[in-house]
């Protein structure tokens, strides 16, 4: 399986499993693990980089990583980006 290195990631140390990211993501990138009662990133390649998940997370546990071509399009130096 191809590993996607961009899109949202969840910091499990910070996440309180509120489900806001799962509920509010307009692209349905997140799934819900019923066993763990926690959100999961199921479809990172479908992320549109709107960052709603980051905004609605009260614990700041979600970080959206941008692909290289997007950083370059917006003039972001990949070497200086916090998620590079």
Domains of the chain are 7-73 (3.30.70.20)
38 pLDDT band, cuts 50/70/90, is very high
Report pLDDT for 83: 53
DSSP type of residue 67: P
Counting residues of the chain whose pLDDT is more than 90, the rounded percentage is: 69
DSSP type of residue 4: P
Is the predicted pLDDT of residue 84 greater than 60, yes or no?
A: no
Q: What is the pLDDT of residues 49-59, one digit of tens each?
A: 999 999 999 99
**Do 7 and 64 contact (CB within 8 A), yes or no?**
yes
33 pLDDT band, cuts 50/70/90, is very high
What is the H or E stretch that residue 74 is in? none
């Amino acid at each position: 399986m191809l590993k996607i290195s961009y899109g949202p990631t969840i910091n499990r140390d910070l996440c309180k499993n509120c489900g806001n990211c799962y509920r509010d993501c307009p692209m349905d990138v997140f799934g819900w693990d019923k066993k763990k009662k926690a959100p999961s990133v199921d479809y990172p390649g479908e992320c549109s980089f709107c960052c709603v998940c980051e905004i609605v997370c009260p614990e700041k546990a979600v970080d959206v990583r941008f692909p290289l071509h997007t950083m370059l399009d917006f003039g972001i130096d990949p070497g200086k980006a916090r998620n590079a």
